[in-house]
Chain A
């Protein structure tokens, strides 16, 4: 009895009547504003409560001595603190807002992102496909962004005074050797890649990361999707081609295959052509994508594509007595890339690696002569990133083996270049309002046996909740055009320095952005045509092969600004954006006798894009209006001082209004998209440039030809059907 009684008393004291403590306090943000609905509790216990509308909490606990108090609130850093439970004074807890897109500065100078991953992005991948005048071509869509030039008869991206050769296309970190279909005289070629292959696009208009090189002006970074977009088979048919694609995914892997055949005959039969086609472009191709997740975070992607195209035309050629020259071309292109990405230690270490190979060959007949051209590029790349919270440090290396072959008038030219680079880049946040990105890149090119070191730095400062300013500076090098290197391998890298200042304001589905830049060109290749000892001559023939003496004596500048405004708010359902780019540039390069504005430059470029989705008829309508001011052209009839006559003539303004519509429907549970577009509704007879015939038959006046688009007003229609029930598209409340 006695023992039991003692035991009972003991139990009574220690367990049966535990002492209760009431914990009270208040949870606020750093400024002292109440945070209602915060979760306050003691670790490992049920003791806890939510804060009320005034941020106060109160709960009892049976814990004694010490405990760990945890506080969590969405959007804020979790809070934990060891507390003594004897104290009854109210607790005051100040939470720190977690870093997010709204409260953290991002480095933006010189880059323009189209991404699914970031909410604050100015453009979505869908915008590329649904923009009139872009014809679902990535490059054409980029040409509607600020900082670009529209050069109707040439292929490539012309960014802030840069030529098409100064911009590179990069897929998953790997430089694409031939991103566009082979170019034909005076005809702009499309990009080879389908927009839906990519989950994100980052278009740099300058000052880009030390991770990339070999581009004096710009890089277009395309990142392929990690998953298949649909399940099953889809068939597409339009006026130019027919294609079929198949997608299948399992939990660990996925496969996508496409095949297409295209022939522009039906389209050209309907749309009047300004070009005398002898073989209407015909092309066929296929691609295969395979993705595998071998480990939890690892992802292996393999992509391969092959395409074959054929065409023939009589193009306007002033140098020919007949005024035109026959041109035929057969192109074969093969491109494969494999990348492996992985991460370790909760994402603190990231690996990006890749291998790629491309082969491209053109069999070309120019008049009666055969020309051959081929290029080969093999590359490897490895980038390792270490994250320290928001800060990061990355180190990487890349190596390329490039072989170029050319046959000109029976002479074979060949070159081999081993290009390698090493780069280091860090990103540091000095608080949430200030970020610094600094990088350095070292490059070596074996063909010219030269080495360079290029530093780059970007700063961004948040000036308000919705606005920020950014500044970027960098040095960029590019190996000279291989056409010059065939004859002279003692040339040095061409160089450009960029300085960019940017301001942007993103608020409530409205974006305003203005960027101003100064670009300095140095060590540009100059070519000296004509006889040695004689005054410098200018040879206006665009198809000439450079055979004159060359050196790195060229230089130049480009300066200007561009503005972007997008509004998805003011009119319900209407999304529009306006861009204006101004560039002032002069160069002494190529075979220019004096410093002048190059022929691909128009000082003013404006584009207006309007989009509206009509829910009742599930149709998306898009309207694009672009205006480019006149470009310089060479007029040999001008007499007088070279400085007053060289490239001083300007072509008329180029004006284009395009409309496109896409309609979504379902036929027997199969998802169908129909689309139609009209290019150049106003039927403007745009002129891109003029060329002159040599003086003939004692007639001193040279006659000029206008080079314009392939066709003036044109239209296009097509459709896509996703067969199989699995290919259902779920557009809730679209």
Chain B
């Protein structure tokens, strides 16, 4: 008798709206984030698209959560850096913008989204730097400045800023001399940075490791 009641309670609870939403959400997110963590720079376009799709499906259900949109956008940004077809890159970045806009509507003034906005601008610029630096350079800087004003301790700001400087030729004010101090700043920020939850953005540290190797110890 007692076991039956417990069973019924458990069964009802499992179907109650409060639980039902967050459990599958967490499960789905953990699964998708797990897939993403397995990605390397050799991951195929198809796999990146699949992961972006996965997050977009979650976003379709969880319309009050900004993180699925965030991760979908992030995957599309990464797609914007791959391949050789300029038109395709722009299409991926357009889709990143769609997700970013949706995320901003849910969570305005969010530092992680500001960082992502800068990231999109950078990706757009890299598609055609000669013709685009004038348009997207200020947007990149603007995104980082906004993120700093919201949360100067977010290490990803310095990841983008530092790596961008590392890839910028010295005659344009880049190079190791300019980039390394910023990358080191990123490392310091990572040491003290506490993500808000285990679903929160955590990327960046691994990405700058190969760049830090080029810096004087």
B213 interface residue, CB < 8 Å from A?
no
Nearest CB in chain A to that of B127: its residue: A119
Report Cα–Cα, A249/B145, bound state, in Å. Answer: 12
Decide: A70 and B126 in contact? CB cutoff 8 A: no
**With the chains together, A50 CA to B46 CA distance in Å?**
10
Interface flags, B191-202, vs A, CB<8A=1, else 0: 000000000000
CB-based contact B168/A7 at 8 Å: no
Determine how close the nearest CB of chain B comes to the CB of A129; give it in whole angstroms: 10
B100 to chain A, nearest CB (A): 15
Interface string of B1-39 (1 = CB under 8 A from A): 100110110011001000000001000100000000000
Query: Contacts A731-B169, A734-B172 hold; do A39 and B1 have CB atoms under 8 A apart?
Result: no
Task: Pick the contact of B5: A4, A43, A231, A613 (CB < 8 A).
Answer: A4
Nearest CB of B to A230, in Å: 7
Chain A contact residues: over half helix, strand or loop, or mixed?
A: loop
Question: Contact mask B48-63 → A, CB, 8 Å, 1/0?
Answer: 0110011011101100
A373-381, A470-478, A511-519, A661-669 - the one binding chain B: A661-669
Cβ–Cβ contact B56 & A72, under 8 A: yes
B185 within 8 A of A: no
Do the beta carbons of B131 and A36 come within 8 Å of each other?
no
**How many A residues are at the interface, by size bracket?**
35 or more
A230 to B58 alpha-carbon distance, docked (Å): 39
Are A44 and B171 interface neighbours, CB within 8 A? no
Contact A230–B138 (Cβ < 8 Å): yes
Partner of A50, one of B53, B135, B140: B53
Judged by a CB distance under 8 angstroms, whether A683 is at the interface is no
Closest to B135 in A: A116
Among A5, A116, A119, A664, which residue has its beta carbon within 8 angstroms of that of B86? A119
Q: How far is the CB of A470 from chain B (nearest CB, A)?
A: 22
Bound-state CA distance A16–B100 (Å) is: 38
CB distance from A370 to the nearest CB of B (A): 46
Q: Please determine whether A728 and B173 come into contact, CB atoms closer than 8 angstroms.
A: yes
A730 touches B86 (CB 8 A): no
Q: Are B11 and A666 in contact (CB under 8 A)?
A: no
Q: Write out, one digit per residue, whether chain B residues 132-161 have a CB within 8 A of any chain A CB (1) or not (0).
A: 111101101110001000000000000000
**Does A1 sit within 8 A of B, measured CB to CB?**
yes
Contact B46 A53 (CB under 8 A): yes
Chain A residues near B12 (CB-CB < 8 A)? 11
Of residues 1 to 52 in A, which have CB atoms within 8 Å of B's CB atoms? 1, 4-5, 7-8, 11, 15-16, 36-39, 41, 43-46, 48, 50
Q: Give the chain B neighbours of A733 by CB distance below 8 A.
A: 126, 129, 167
**Per-position contact with A for B87-119: 1 when CB-CB < 8 Å, else 0?**
100111001000000000000000000000000
Does A227 make an interface contact (CB < 8 A)?
A: yes
A54→B169 CA distance, assembly (Å) = 43
B168 near A665 with CB under 8 A, answer: no
CA separation between A8 and B91, bound complex, in Å?
52
Cross-interface CB contact of B60 among A15, A43, A116, cutoff 8 Å = A43
Does chain B have a CB within 8 A of A729? Answer: yes
A734 & B140 in contact (Cβ 8 Å cutoff): no
Question: What is the size category of the interface that chain B forms with chain A?
Answer: 35 or more
- B164 close to A (CB within 8 Å): yes
Q: How far is the CB of A7 from chain B (nearest CB, A)?
A: 6
Closest approach, in angstroms, between the C-beta of A97 and any C-beta of chain B?
Answer: 11
Q: Which residues of A contact B171 (CB under 8 A)?
A: 618, 664-666
In the assembled complex, the Cα of A615 lies from the Cα of B207 at a distance in Å of 26
Indicate if A408 sits at the interface (CB-CB under 8 A).
no
Among B56, B86, B130, B173: residue with most chain A CB under 10 A:
B173
Task: Provide the residues of chain A in CB contact with B95, threshold 8 Å.
Answer: 74
State the CA gap A418–B49 with chains docked (Å): 60
Interface residues of A in 703-734 (CB under 8 A from B): 726, 728-734
Residue with the greatest number of chain B CB neighbours at <10 A, chosen from A37, A70, A119: A37
**Chain B residues with Cβ under 8 A from A83's Cβ?**
none
CA distance A101 to B90 in the complex (A): 12
With both chains docked as a complex, state the minimum distance between the C-beta of B22 and any C-beta of chain A, in angstroms.
13
Would you call A229 an interface residue if the criterion is a C-beta within 8 Å of the partner chain's C-beta atoms?
yes
Whether B92 pairs with A74 at a CB distance below 8 angstroms is yes
**Distance in Å from the Cβ of B4 to the closest Cβ of chain A?**
6
Distance in Å from the Cβ of B71 to the closest Cβ of chain A? 14
A671 CB-CB contact with B under 8 Å: yes
Tell me if A1 and B1 are in contact (CB < 8 A). Answer: yes
Report yes or no: A734 in contact with B129, Cβ–Cβ below 8 A.
yes
Residues of A within 8 A of B86 (CB): 119
Q: Is the CB of A37 within 8 A of B129?
A: no
Q: Complex: how many Å from CA A72 to CA B60? A: 12
Are A116 and B28 in touch, CB under 8 angstroms? no
Question: In the assembled complex, which residues on chain B have CB atoms less than 8 Å from the CB atom of A729?
Answer: 133, 137, 172-173
**Is A94 at the interface (CB under 8 A from chain B)?**
no
Identify which of A36, A116, A732 contacts B122 (C-beta below 8 A): A732
Query: Are B172 and A666 in contact, with the CB atoms below 8 A?
Result: yes
- Is there contact, CB below 8 Å, between B141 and A728? yes
Residue of B with least CB distance to A121: B131
Q: Assess whether B170 is interfacial by the CB under 8 Å rule.
A: yes
Q: Considering the chains assembled together, what is the distance between the CA atoms of A126 and B132 in angstroms?
A: 10
In whole Å, how far is B46's beta carbon from the nearest beta carbon of chain A? 5
Cα(A229)–Cα(B132), bound, Å: 12
**Contacting pair A731 B133 (CB below 8 A):** yes
Taking CB atoms, residues of chain B closer than 8 Å to A126 are 130-131, 134
Chain B residues whose CB sits within 8 angstroms of the CB of A665 once the complex forms: 171
Chain B residues in 8 Å Cβ range of A185: none
Q: How many Å lie between the Cα of A670 and that of B178 in the bound state?
A: 12
| A509 nearest CB neighbor, chain B only | B86
Minimum CB–CB distance from A102 to chain B (whole Å) comes to 7
Q: Which residue of A lies closest to B178 (CB)?
A: A669
Distance to closest chain B CB from A509 (angstroms):
9
Contact A8 B8 (CB under 8 A): yes
| Residue on B nearest A36 in the bound complex, by CB | B46
A124 within 8 A of B: yes
In the complex, the answer to whether B53 meets A39 with C-beta atoms within 8 Å is yes
Pick the contact of A730: B5, B50, B60, B133 (CB < 8 A).
B133
Q: Tell me if A581 is interfacial: C-beta within 8 Å of chain B.
A: no
Report the nearest A residue to B46, measured CB to CB. A37
Q: Is there a chain B Cβ closer than 8 Å to A228's Cβ?
A: yes
A734–B144 CA distance with the chains assembled, in angstroms: 21
B125 interface contact, C-beta 8 A: yes
Q: Are B61 and A618 in contact (CB under 8 A)?
A: no
Closest 4 CB pairs of A and B: A39-B53, A37-B49, A730-B137, A666-B173
Taking A728-B141, A732-B122 as known contacts, 10 extra A-B pairs with beta carbons closer than 8 A to each other, sorted by chain A number, are A4-B4, A4-B5, A8-B7, A36-B46, A46-B28, A46-B61, A53-B46, A74-B49, A124-B131, A126-B131
Q: List 18 A-B contacts (CB under 8 A).
A: A4-B1, A5-B4, A8-B8, A37-B49, A44-B61, A50-B50, A119-B86, A126-B134, A665-B171, A666-B170, A669-B178, A671-B173, A729-B173, A730-B133, A731-B137, A732-B126, A732-B129, A734-B172
